[in-house]
Structures are given as structure tokens and as C-alpha cells.
Structure 1
Amino acid sequence: MQKISQFSFLVLWGRLALSKGFKVLMPKEQVIAILNQVVMLECNFTVTEEPPLKNIVINWQLANTNQVVHSYYYGRDQLKKQNPNYFGITSLFPEEFKRGNASLRLEGVKLKHSGKYQCYVSNASGSGEGIITVVLAAFYSEPRLIIKQKSSSTSLMFESSGYPKADISWYFGDNKDASVLSNTSYWQDADGLYTVQSTMEINKIENNSTYTFVLRNAVVNQTILRTFTLKAEEYGTSMSKSASTLLLITIAGSVLIIMALAILLYNKYIKAKSIEIIVPNLP
């Protein structure tokens, strides 16, 4: 209890200290954090002629609840009051304090770590604070394709998982929006990830019919695209005058994934292999 009251005194002292020329600067208002990866919350403070490490206090907390994420004072980390959701995943850079760097590193972030964070810095020169918002995202997985042949129709279904909820579209022919003809459902698992299933029911196959499935995760600029060309073929048998129909589905898949990370932006292109599947049309 003694250390907590001393910390409160240091914070109060810092707020009352003269802060001419002292500022806390947040280079970014928002950062995108990728699930299970490392994210850096940048926070800088002005280094004046005063020794920047004298009586320095750095406190990261959740802006909406004031719960402690990481604290540093008396020359070392103070984590007794740290929110349990952050045990073992936070760290500062004490060797960088003299350069005005009070940034926080979060390792292995989860969806529960999204939200607004406040960086508070106080030293002999003054005090200040800033806010940064962490937005969590997870790239959607390679979609799983399920084809079902029925007596009077064929269904194409895609399933994928990611975060946040993706935008799904279907197109027919030359970019004619066919999304209203599809059925798309979402659900979340225990970790908060979304699984999306989207089905297109095709009742009539015209020769060289083309359908395109598009999944978009706007937060990370991810787009997954699949284009199908469907061909209906008929053939006869020497045993019967009746004709049987086979549905030849040519799947020409291409995946375009454009990844935009908050700190490092990069592009990646993946082209899927072409697959041919022959599905008999049931009587």
C-alpha cells in the first residue's frame, strides 16, 4: 500500500510540475494489431535540458477503465496492479527513455486487447499524456470449397475464418451483382474469431456460366477472389436413347491478398491451381 500511495503522489506531483516545453507525442492515433503477433504502441516525450530520467514515471493504462497495462517508476517496472489480461506480454524500453521513447510493446495480442490506451509520462521537466487506439484484426484463412450436387441444382459453398466480420459478395457474368441470390451466415468461436459460410445455389446451368465469389476484410485490405466457369455437357449411350447430363465445373481460382499493416505495409499475391471437377447430374 505504501508504494501505491507513493506512486499516486508522483503522478500528482508530475501533473502539478511546470511543463513548459514538455509534451507527450503520439505519432499515430490508431494502430492495426494482427492476431497473435507483436504490436508497438508508440509514445514519445520531449527531452529538454533537464535530465529525462530524473523521477521519471511512465504509466500505460486502458483509457476507458483506467486499468493498468504497464507501469514504470522508481527506476523499474511496477506490475503489481497490472490487469491480468496483460501478464507476460508487455514491455517498455528503459534504454530508450533518455531519447524520449516511452513506447509499449504488446506480444501475442488477442482480440481482448483491442481498445483505447493512454500513455502518461512524468519527469522533472513536466508531465503529459496521449491516447492511441488499437484495432485487432485476423487475416481470413484460405477458403474451403464445398460443392454439392442435387437433383435440380448445384450449390457452391465457401467457408473461411478471420476477424472482423468480412464483407461477402457474389457476381454473375460481367460483374452483375448476384449477392441477393446467395445465403451467407456468420458465427463467432470462443476466441471471438468469425467463421463465414456463403452458399450460391445454382438452379439452371447455362453453357459457360461464370460466377465470382469475393471476400473482403477492409481493416487489413485483404481481398480473396474466386471465379468459376460452369459448363453443361450432354452425352448419349448405346444402351438407351435417353441422354444423361454431366456437369463439368472448371474452377479457375485466383487469390489476391493485399496486406496493409499499421507499421509495415507489404503486398502478397497468391495464385491458386486450376481444378476440374466432374459432377454427375442426378436423375
Structure 2
Amino acid sequence: MNTRTVRGAFPEASGPGPPVWRWGSPRRAGPAGEQPWEGARSSAPAPRGRHGPAAVAQHSAGHTAMKREVSLFCFSPSASPSLPGCIALLIALQVHRLVAAQFRVIGPDQPVVASVGAVAVLPCRLSPATSAESMEVRWFRSRFSSVVHLYRGGRDQPGEQMQEYLGRTQLLKHNITSGSISLRIRGVRLSDCGQYTCFVQSHVSYEEALLELQVTALGSDPHVSAEGHQDGGIRMVCRSAGWHPEPEVQWRDHRGQPLPPASEKVFTDTAGLFHTEVSVVIMAESNQNVTCAVRSLFLNQEKTATISIAGTLQSKLESEKEALRSELETEKGLLQSKLESEKAALKSALESEKERRRADKAEYEAMKRTLQSKLENEKRLLQSKLEREKEALKSALESEKERRRADKGTLQSKLENEKRLLQSKLEREKAALKSALESEKERRRADKAEYEAMKRTLQSELENEKRLLQSRLEREKAALKSALESEKVKYKAVEGLTKAQRHAGRRCIPSRDRPTSPGTQRIPCGCGDCLPWP
């Protein structure tokens, strides 16, 4: 077991406080993930809570001030330059440091082993035996703030404890005056596995020790069963659950020799415990015993289960036969009892239904008589009410008739007045429309006469324009004919002159009178194909 002890002392014994600088000691490394302190700064993490970062800064500032004061005392011109005085002060400080380191925290040399669900005791003590009643005892995991259990001010402090350890830890205080500060953890879980730090702080110093808790679980006895045929043999399966760490499973024959497994399956449940399922194929002709052994290498313990192949097959057959027979008998009895119970239930239901119907019939007759009497009463009341309403309606109808007669005379007079007004209005509008129609006819006749005059004017202008265009066209046609004749005469003169120039200085020889070589150019002329004169 890797146990680490750290010592530290404050320069002033002014009460409880966090670890600070210590003078005159070699540099030491802190826990994993923390920077070492200069000088002999403790490797324990800085305490939290009342000894937080502010307290550390305060004590560091005090320590720096003390060093400055010592330096000024030794080298100030106003102070006494006596060397023995400085030496005496340094010796006093060193003695104070030595007196401050009064105890050590000691843990076990080997890991503490506990089973899942059991109780684990993490031993821790002070050496020499010193009472820890007035000290702070802090059990924590990887970080100083991950409090497993905190004892401070003479009592436990569950408010600073991690949630998963609430109600499961107990600081054993029966020997706390002798320096025993062991921690008990009830209901051990797999998550409890790992390193723990036992940290103790007095008014003038602090110490800590590391120890490890290993959690194990011894699983259930192996359960062996035959599950069908495979590869010409019988497939035997061994199952076991609740192991930690992962166990080793082995099949052995009647001589204790290992058998090769056909399949292996290992998985963990929600609690992190291992479940194993290993199968082996045993030949059908074998009638020897086979054993399944599940072994915990960590605990050096194993659990076994032995089964006979022949006995297994026979017992399985008999058990299946007996199970089928018992199941058949059970099913038969259940069906009979169910039939009888259903028959009795139907009978009772039928009788109750008959009784209910008789009661319903009697109730119906009583209700019928009651309703008939109520109906007669209602009928008489309605008849009397109807007679009253009929008389009231008759009187209202007569008054309405009189009112309507009066209204009819008024409406007729109004209608006659409206009719006369409309007739006079219609006559006026008819006369106005007639006058407007006559004026429109006169306007259209005037427009028609104007259109006819305009039409005759346009026709005469069109005829004049047509005659002018025809005379102009004739003049242009005569001019084009005279120009064409002059152009023909010019072309003939030019063509004659061109032919005379083409044959100047050449003699025309018909091609048939002279042989020609390939490639000789022929020149067309007026007398046929000609060759150039040599």
C-alpha cells in the first residue's frame, strides 16, 4: 500500500489555519494535479471552508511580513549589528518549527478489501497516540472538497459531506482520545472503490495519509442446465451472477481437465456487477459428470456445480413428463372448476336478473299509474289553460282585425296619393324624353347631310390624285425606255471593242488540226476552241 505522510508547521501558533510556507526544508511535490509549494509547502490540498483561499492569502502575507521584519532586524543600520542576536532569532524559529510537528498520520500498508453491501472500516491513527477530539479530521477522495466524512469542532459536519455518502459513514470515536480516527462505511458500493485521504489538522500542524479501498463481490452459485443439441452433442450452459471483479469460468470433465467452451458471454448489470454465461458441448454418448467452476482470482475463491449427463437427460425427460402430466391435470381441474364456477355464476346471475326484472315490472306498473294520474291532472290543467288562451286569442284577433281595417284605409289613401304623384312625374318625364328624341333626330339628320357633302368632296379629290399619278407614271415609263435603249447601244459598242482586243496578236488554230499535250490551256473564241500562238 502506498501510504504518504506529509508534515507542516505554521511560523506562528496563532490558531487554526491552512498550510503555509515552511522555512529551511527541501521542496516537495504535491498531490497529482497540484503544483508543489516553494520551500516545504505541504503536498496536502489547501483546506476549504473556514480555511479557504482568503485565509491562505492572509497567512502568506503574514509570513512575508515576518521575513521582511527579520531581514530588517538583521541588516538595518538603526538596529544592533550583533550577529549573535540574528542567530538566536533563527534558532528560536527553528525550535518553534520542530515543536510544531507533533504527530504523524498512519494508514494501513495494504489495501482494505470489502464486499458489496458489507461494512468497510478504513483504519487511520495518529502516532504517537494523541487525542484528536479538538482537531479537524477530514476524509476525502481525489479532491479536498470531495468530503466523505468531516469531523470538526468536536462533532461531525454532515452538511459538507458528498451526497452519495450521506447516512453511510461513521467516524469511530471510541478511541479518538488515543489517536484512532478510523472511518466506517456501511452498505459498500462499487463506486466506493478507490483512494481515500485521511487528513488531520491541529492548531499548529497538519498531516495526511493515503489508503485504498478495494470492493469485491462473490457471485451466486453456478446454475447448470441442458439446453438442446448442438454439433452432435448436448449443449450445457453455466450461468452465474453478481461477481466483481470479473471472474474466471471453466468447464471440467470428470478427471478435472478443462473443456473448451463453445461460447462465452460476460456482461454487467446496472450496479456494475458481472454476469457470466459459458456453454460447452458434451457428446451424447458420454455419461460422465461435468463440473462448472466460477473462480474469483482476486479473492482466490471459487464456486462449483457438478452435473451428470445421463442423469441430466433422464431427469430432464422424467421432469418434463411429470411436468406435462401435472400441467394437464392442473389445467383439467382448473377448467372444471372454472366451468362449475361459471355455471353457478350464470345461475345466480339469471335468478338475480329475474328478480331484478320482476322488481322493474312492479316499479314500472307503479310508475305507470303515477304517470297516468299525473297525465290526467296535466290534461285537465292544459285544457283549462287552453280555453283561457283561446278566449284571449279570440279577443286579440278581433282587435287586430279592427286595427288592420283602419290601417288598410290609411294605406289605400296613401297609395292613391302616391299613384297620382307617380303618374304626373311619369307624364313630365315622357314629355321631356319626346323633346330630347326630336332634337336628337334633327342633330343626326344634320350630321348625315354633312357626311354626304364630305364624301363627295373626298371622291373628287381622289379622282384628281389618281389622274395625276397616272400621267406621272407614263412620263417615268417613257424615260426608262429611252434610257434602256441608250444602254443597249453602249453595251454593243463595248462588246465589239473587247473581242477585238482579246484576239490582237494571236492566230486562231482549230484544236483538231494540232495535237495538244496534257495541261495545254484552251481559249474559247468566236471560231471554236483555239490554242495560243506559239
Q: TM-score, normalised by structure 2?
A: 0.39
Task: Give the C-alpha shift of residue 159 in structure 1.
Answer: 1.2
Per residue, is there more helix in 1 or in 2? 2
> How do 1:143-158 residues align onto structure 2 when only pairs under 5 Å count?
143-150=222-229, 152-158=232-238
Q: State whether structure 2 residue 210 is matched by structure 1 residue 172.
A: no
Structure 2 gap segments, 5+ residues each: 1-46, 60-96, 319-534
Note closer, same or farther for the CA distance 1:76–1:7 as it changes in structure 2 (3 Å cut): farther
User: Structure 1 residues 134 and 83 mapped into 2: Cα distance closer, same or farther (>3 Å)?
Assistant: same
The offset of 1:86, in angstroms, is 0.5
Q: Which moved more, 1:62-71 or 1:158-167?
A: 62-71
Tell me if structure 1 keeps the 8 A contact 2:223–2:305. no
State how many pairs are aligned.
Answer: 230
1:205 aligns with 2:323: no
* 1:264 alignment partner in structure 2: none
1:193 pairs with 2:193: no
2:448 corresponds to: none
- Match of residue 245 from structure 1: none
1:248-263 map, 5 Å: 248-249=311-312
Q: Which amino acid aligns with 1:44?
A: R
Which structure: greater strand fraction? 1
1:6 aligns with 2:86: no
Aligned pair partner of 1:56 in 119, 129, 135: 135
The 5-angstrom pairing of residues 241-280 of structure 1 reads 248-249=311-312, 277-279=315-317
Structure 1 length as normaliser, TM-score? 0.71
- Structure 2 residue matching 1:112: 3-state secondary structure: helix
Structure 1 distance, partners of 2:153, 2:267, is: 47
Contact persistence 2:133–2:154 (CA under 8 A): no
1:118 Cα offset (Å): 0.5
Task: Tell me the distance in 1 between the aligned counterparts of 2:189 and 2:275.
Answer: 17
Supply the distance in 2 between the matched residues of 1:92 and 1:58 (Cα, whole angstroms).
Answer: 9
- What is the percentage of aligned positions where both structures have the same residue? 23
User: Higher mean Cα deviation, 113-122 or 144-153?
Assistant: 144-153
Corresponding position of 2:25: none
Gaps of 5+ in 1: 232-247, 251-275
Residue aligned with 2:164, SS? helix
Q: CA deviation at 1:75?
A: 1.4
The answer to whether structure 1 residue 115 and structure 2 residue 181 are counterparts is: no
Give the SS at the match of 2:272.
coil
Distance in 1 between residues matched to 2:122 and 2:216, nearest whole Å: 16
Could you tell me which amino acid in structure 1 is paired with residue 222 of structure 2? P
Structure 1 stretches of at least 4 aligned residues deviating more than 6 Å after TM superposition: none
In the alignment, which of 19, 24, 39 is matched to residue 120 of structure 2? 39
Shift of 1:67: 1.1
* TM-superposed deviation, 1:19: 4.8
Cα 1:186–1:67 change in 2 (3 A) is same
Given that 1:215 and 1:223 are in contact with CA atoms closer than 8 Å, whether structure 2 keeps it comes out as yes
| Candidates 161, 172, 193, aligned match of 1:82 | 161
Task: Report the equivalent of 1:139.
Answer: 218
The higher radius of gyration belongs to 2
Once the two structures are TM-superposed, the CA of residue 125 in structure 1 deviates from its matched residue by 6.7
Distance 2:158 2:316 in 1: 62
Amino acid at match of 1:205: A
- Mapped partners of 1:160, 1:226: distance in 2: 10
Secondary structure class of the residue paired with 2:103: coil
The DSSP-based 3-state class of the residue aligned with 1:6 is helix
Please give the alpha-carbon distance, in whole angstroms, between the structure 1 residues aligned to 2:131 and 2:261. 63
Task: Report the more deviating stretch, 212-221 or 16-25.
Answer: 16-25
The AA in structure 1 aligned to 2:236 is: L
**Greater Cα shift, 89-98 or 37-46:** 89-98
Does the C-alpha gap of structure 1 residues 64 and 137 become closer, same or farther in structure 2, counting only changes over 3 Å?
farther
What is the RMSD computed on CA atoms of the aligned residues? 3.0
Paired with 1:63 and 1:219, the residues of 2 have a C-alpha distance of 24
TM-superposition CA deviations, 1:20-78 (whole Å, max 9, x none): 45111113431111111111000011246xx7346401000003675111111111112
